[in-house]
Structure 1
Amino acid sequence: MKTNRSYPIGLSHQRGAVLIVVLLFLVLIMLIGVIAVRNSSTDLKLATSDQINTVLLQSSDSVNNKIEMSVNGLTTGDQYKQIMGITGIFGYYFLGSNDEDIIDFCYRPRSSFFNIDNAVIRRGSGKIVNNTTGYCDTTKSTDYTSNRNTTMTQVMIKNVSATANNGDFAHMALGSDSDEETSKKYTFDIYSTSVLPAYGSARDEKVKECFEKNASNNVDGVTKCMADNSIPSKMLVEQVDVANIQSSDYCTYFGNSAKTGSSNALCRDS
């Protein structure tokens, strides 16, 4: 038995139109998914970049804070003596004729804060003290700022008193005798460069090579070298004034210590 079926006019065309609409919806859903994935990847990269920037900034800032706390701390403290002694990063300038020299050292807070024997001293285009330990080495765990071995910080100390204190009596500390050497005020630029070697693709020796460059050189310095080699870095530059002020007033009372009752051993009888 043969059955003849008749379809409404245009039904076959409607079925084709439905298929096309479904395909368009599928393509639209796929595009939305791709855009969402790409946006998620971009957001993740931005979040990671922000975290890296924060870590590097904190690492660089910790050096400056350490120096400030040590200089303003007790004069009998070990860290003060390390910094202001003749072999310290500031005492080297105060107690010697080394105004033009530049000191480079790797910040190693887990050991001695500063050791002149582990620093590089540059004078002009050469080096008067060239230690292999003066620059941070990514292959040494002791050169990282923490046991996690993530960040390391290289520091450069530059005396800029000649240009910063070029006004009348600008190099003198207020309230001090100008004839005394201890009344001089020095101005230093501190360049603290922190890096995350694990996030870069450069070889270990390349990181050290970048550290050896002049941090104050904007054309071919440390930051440019790090950027050219895709090494995440952050440099913090701080200018500080350091003055070693000595007071000449030892006694509250004057005259015979026996009469005044002063117990200060520095008071003289008259």
Structure 2
Amino acid sequence: MNSNSKMKMHHQRGATLIVVLIMLVLITIMGIMGIRTAMTSLNIATNSQVGQLLSQTGDTPSNYFLNVSDYGHLTQITTAVGQAIALHKASPGKEVVFCYKPTSKEIVDSAFDTTVLIPPDETVASDTKATIDSVYNNRSGFCDLTKDFGSSREAVVTQVAVKVISEPSAAIGADLERGSDQSVGATVAKDKVEARIRITSTAIMPSFSRNNIEEIQKCIGSSATVGYINDNLAKELKGKQTMAGCLVGKGVPVSTQVQEMEMRSRDIQVEAP
């Protein structure tokens, strides 16, 4: 074999090697792109599942209150709603917060496991935290992000705030009794609105945040610190930082749901006055 034939074979081998290397690079690039696409799709699916789980969990406390048929029990001073109504009569604007723990042996919404928060004044900075009532200074109403989960999956923690709505949400006279005629002796049913209650439920998934639990807990509150208010819908609290807003700022997935209820007592007139 002459030298020209040897040189041609070397060129062919070199060209083949370059082609193989290029193909390997292309395959690698395509593989990386495929992995990224799969990870993106998985991330989207995960985000969707997280949102659905938070929404379902956050709705549970509201359903609990709506399904309590015993008006007397719901408005007892030993419950969160009853405590909020009693506090409102003496000092409007306070929040009664508790941790919704359906798997716990503790009674749901018991006043013995609530914390009473006083919202910041209208004139102070928007990021001012709440203060704890000096009389009802129990701190057990704050959820512990390390253990107060709503199910055995230990994924979601739910903080609930109960507040009596101070400002009227309807026209003057809207709460007056209807269908009553006390000038006659007929039996007449009368409805009277005792209070308007606003329930704010915030479902929290702490494991998805890159911040440490201690830092996230500061948004909620604990035995050592006080967190932010949950409800800033009142006119004087517009723009004030909330617990949910603080958590979102720290990258924690949350879902907040607000439910308003009218507490009505029903009397029966059995004889003319």
Band of TM-score, shorter chain: 0.7 to 0.9
TM-score, structure 2 normalization: 0.73
Paired residue for 1:136?
A: 143
**Which residue type is aligned with residue 28 of structure 1?**
L
Change (3 A) 1:153 1:34: same
Paired residue for 2:207?
A: 198
Mapped pair 1:105 → 2:124: no
Decide whether the 8 Å contact of 1:176 with 1:183 is kept in 2: no
Partners of 2:158 and 2:53 in 1: how far apart? 11
Alignment of 1:235-254 (within 5 A): 235-249=256-270
Partners of 2:217 and 2:176 in 1: how far apart? 38
* Higher RCO (Cα < 8 Å, 6 or more apart): 2
Partners of 1:249 and 1:162 in 2: how far apart? 34
Match 1:171 to one of 175, 185, 199: 175
**Which residue type is aligned with residue 116 of structure 2?**
I
TM-score, structure 1 normalization: 0.74
Paired residue for 2:223?
A: none
Alignment of 1:49-88 (within 5 A): 49-70=47-68, 73=69, 75=70, 81-88=72-79
Q: Give unpaired runs (5+ residues) of structure 2.
A: 121-130, 183-189, 221-226, 233-238
Change (3 A) 1:204 1:22: closer
SS in structure 2 of the partner of residue 109 of structure 1: coil
Task: Provide Cα deviations, 1:17-65, integer angstroms capped at 9, x if missing partner.
Answer: 4443333222211111000111111222222222222211111101111
Report the Cα offset of residue 5 of structure 1.
7.0
Partners of 2:40 and 2:132 in 1: how far apart? 45
Change (3 A) 1:210 1:174: farther
Change (3 A) 1:177 1:158: farther
Task: Provide Cα deviations, 1:65-100, integer angstroms capped at 9, x if missing partner.
Answer: 111101xx2x2xxxx544221333333355561443
Alignment of 1:152-191 (within 5 A): 152-165=157-170, 167-172=171-176, 174-175=178-179, 183-191=192-200
Paired residue for 2:37?
A: 39
Partners of 1:105 and 1:157 in 2: how far apart? 9
Report the number of matched residues.
237
Paired residue for 2:216?
A: 207
Change (3 A) 1:174 1:62: farther
Mapped pair 1:120 → 2:104: no
Decide whether the 8 Å contact of 1:119 with 1:130 is kept in 2: no
Partners of 1:11 and 1:215 in 2: how far apart? 79
**Which residue type is aligned with residue 78 of structure 2?**
T
Mapped pair 1:145 → 2:150: yes
SS in structure 1 of the partner of residue 267 of structure 2: coil
SS in structure 2 of the partner of residue 90 of structure 1: helix
**Which residue type is aligned with residue 172 of structure 2?**
D
Partners of 2:207 and 2:100 in 1: how far apart? 18
Decide whether the 8 Å contact of 1:191 with 1:237 is kept in 2: yes
Paired residue for 2:231?
A: 216
Change (3 A) 1:124 1:36: closer
Identity in percent: 26
Paired residue for 1:268?
A: none
